[in-house]
């Protein structure tokens, strides 16, 4: 089996010009640099339109793309925007940080201008796009337009007639807000047009895209509003039970995520049709699909709707291997990564084995001095070939930040595993990268923050917190020749160079 490696970097974190990373020239430049340093993969975070809190794991749609990713430079080249208009907008002035509030108030008016100047209704490619994607696009566009009518409120707080999708209400809103709906369709057209171009370019350079999809959809999403039968909702389309995780050593009250849970009995009756559509679509968007919270297919934690803590929740059985047999039968062999982190039971391990998908290993989980044996699944000498290893993920500390936060005994254990007690701490991230790169795991993905040796001020996400996450961006100055020379040297040294 070929040994491969890649870089984890959210599209939002690219150093694009107008306040947030997008499908602009900088994305193509990053692909070129990945090729130069022998990488095979660029792993990104979910591309969906984000809700309040700006998390890509809480999206208004599981199928739609985030309009923030549309390159304004491309629209300038098309002649539907001007440099002066884009330059006059206030996107914030910190190249290493995303100001999402300014992004919202600056970007959408520009995109609306582009739409109004585009004569898009006359474009045969746009008409074809709408026809081919009507099974999700129309509901999403109507959902977003109606959400604007109700001042951005969650759909569960809309007027009853449109909340419950009564026929006369659907007709009224689709007629009255025709151009607002078409605007959202236009943005999806430009998103997929630009993303397809970027992905095709990456593939032509030997770079494959690892996409990321959450297991759950947001309650406030077009998916839940348009297909309530898929979820555990009551006759008023309000949630009966919601997702989360139980109390553990990290939290005595557990976590309440709030996502609606699936009606797996209904999905089973349909032959998992919605899931087949979802995964088929994702496999067209990406070359490899990472499914977040894979253990939820084995068992999922159910919390009564309205609960403030997870204390009263309980475990329920998920669809298990039956779902993935249906996927293989309908779609063939697809490249999927199972995010099997956290509390993993024997039945979860068996599900991952039965699926044949590679599981994930995170180095930061390996060093627990309370269990100082050598049997940890996360210690590099125990990685199976069919696995994907990370120093950390978007939810973890950077390696340098982690070294500053762990206990003295854990730090000592990590140092001893490295057989290195003298290297200054600030230089250790490279040692840990080398540790996983020389492991037996077929695929190795490193967050770019760790190659840069950055601390936790550059962390992407701190779970269970809001307001400070998903904002970090790498600067053009950080993406210099020295960085990619270092990445290339490490990649070649441990036999992971992409010779294609």
Report in angstroms the alpha-carbon separations of 181 from 60, 149, 173, 175, 192.
15, 11, 9, 9, 17
Q: Which residues pair with 444 in a beta bridge?
A: 5, 389
pLDDT tens per residue, range 352-381? 999 999 999 999 999 987 765 665 889 999
Active-site residue (options: 223, 292, 340, 410) = 292
Whether residue 122 is contained in a domain is answered as: yes
Task: Give the structural domain span for 261.
Answer: 4-493
Q: Mean pLDDT in the chain?
A: 95
pTM: 0.96
pLDDT of 13 higher than 90 = yes
Which tokens sit at 185? 């369709």
Residues near 296 by Cβ (< 8 Å), separated by ≥ 6?
Answer: 215, 216, 243, 318
d(CA 321, CA 356): 10
Q: Residue 287 domain-assigned?
A: yes
Encoded tokens for 311? 């204390």
Give the sheet arrangement for strand 255-260, strand by strand: 255-260, 241-245, 299-304, 314-317
Counting the structural domains of the chain, the total is: 1
The predicted structure's pLDDT at residue 249: 66
Residue 500 maps to a domain: no
Q: Would 295 be classed as within a structural domain?
A: yes
CATH of the domain at 44: 3.20.20.80
Instruction: Please indicate whether residue 395 is annotated as part of the active site.
Output: yes
DSSP-derived 3-state class of residue 421? coil
**Residue 499 domain-assigned (yes or no):** no
- Would you mind telling me the total number of residues written for the chain in this entry? 500
pLDDT score for 251: 77
DSSP per residue, 180-239: HHHHHHHHHHHHHHHHHHHHHHHHHTT-EEEEEE-SSPPSSSHHHHH-GGGBSB-TTS-B
Q: Of residues 139, 220, 223, 339, which has the active-site annotation?
A: 339
Distance CA 111, CA 181 (A): 14
Answer yes or no: is pLDDT of 476 > 70: yes
Q: Which of 1, 3, 8, 4 is nearest to 290 (CA)?
A: 8
Question: Is 133 part of any domain?
Answer: yes
């Amino acid at each position: 089996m070929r040994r491969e490696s890649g870089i984890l970097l959210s599209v939002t974190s690219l150093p694009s010009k107008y306040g947030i990373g997008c499908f602009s020239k900088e994305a193509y430049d990053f692909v070129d640099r990945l090729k130069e340093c022998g990488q095979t993969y660029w792993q990104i975070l979910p591309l969906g339109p984000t809700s309040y809190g700006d998390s890509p794991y809480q999206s208004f749609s599981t199928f739609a793309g985030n309009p923030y990713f549309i390159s304004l430079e491309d629209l300038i080249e098309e002649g539907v925007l001007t440099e002066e208009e884009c330059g006059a907008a206030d996107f914030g002035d910190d190249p290493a940080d995303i100001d999402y509030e300014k992004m919202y108030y600056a970007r959408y008016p520009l995109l609306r201008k582009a739409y109004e100047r585009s004569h898009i209704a006359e474009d045969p490619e746009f008409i074809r796009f709408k026809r081919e994607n009507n099974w999700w696009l129309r509901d999403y566009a109507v959902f977003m337009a109606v959400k604007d009518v109700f001042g951005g409120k969650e759909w569960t707080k809309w007027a009853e007639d449109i909340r419950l999708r009564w026929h006369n209400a659907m007709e009224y809103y689709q007629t009255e807000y025709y151009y607002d709906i078409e605007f959202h369709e236009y943005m999806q057209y430009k998103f997929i047009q630009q993303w397809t171009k970027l992905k095709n370019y990456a593939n032509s350079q030997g770079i494959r895209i690892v996409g990321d999809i959450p297991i759950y959809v947001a309650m406030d999403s077009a998916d839940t509003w348009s297909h309530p039968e898929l979820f555990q909702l009551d006759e008023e389309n309000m949630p009966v039970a919601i997702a989360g995780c139980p109390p553990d050593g990290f939290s005595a009250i557990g976590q309440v995520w709030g996502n609606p849970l699936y009606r797996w009995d209904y999905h089973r009756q349909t032959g998992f049709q919605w899931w087949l559509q979802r995964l088929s679509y994702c496999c067209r968007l990406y070359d490899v699909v990472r499914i977040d919270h894979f253990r939820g297919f084995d068992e999922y934690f159910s919390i009564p709707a309205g609960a403030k803590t997870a204390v009263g929740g309980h475990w329920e059985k998920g669809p298990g291997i039956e779902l993935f047999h249906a996927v293989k039968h309908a779609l063939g062999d697809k490249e999927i990564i199972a995010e099997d982190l956290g509390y993993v039971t024997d039945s979860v391990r068996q599900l991952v084995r039965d699926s044949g998908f590679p599981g994930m290993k995170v180095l930061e989980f390996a060093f627990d001095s309370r269990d100082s044996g050598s049997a940890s699944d996360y210690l590099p000498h125990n990685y199976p070939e069919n696995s994907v290893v990370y120093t950390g993920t978007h939810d973890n500390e950077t390696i340098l930040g982690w070294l500053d936060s762990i206990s003295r005994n854990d730090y000592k254990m990590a140092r001893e595993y490295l057989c290195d007690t003298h290297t200054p701490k600030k230089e250790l991230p490279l040692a840990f990268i080398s540790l996983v790169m020389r492991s037996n795991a077929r695929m190795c993905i490193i967050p770019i923050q760790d190659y840069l040796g950055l601390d936790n001020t550059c962390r992407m996400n701190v779970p269970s917190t809001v307001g400070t996450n998903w904002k970090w961006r790498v600067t053009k100055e950080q993406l210099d020749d020295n960085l990619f020379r270092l990445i290339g040297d490490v990649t070649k040294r441990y036999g992971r160079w992409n010779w294609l």
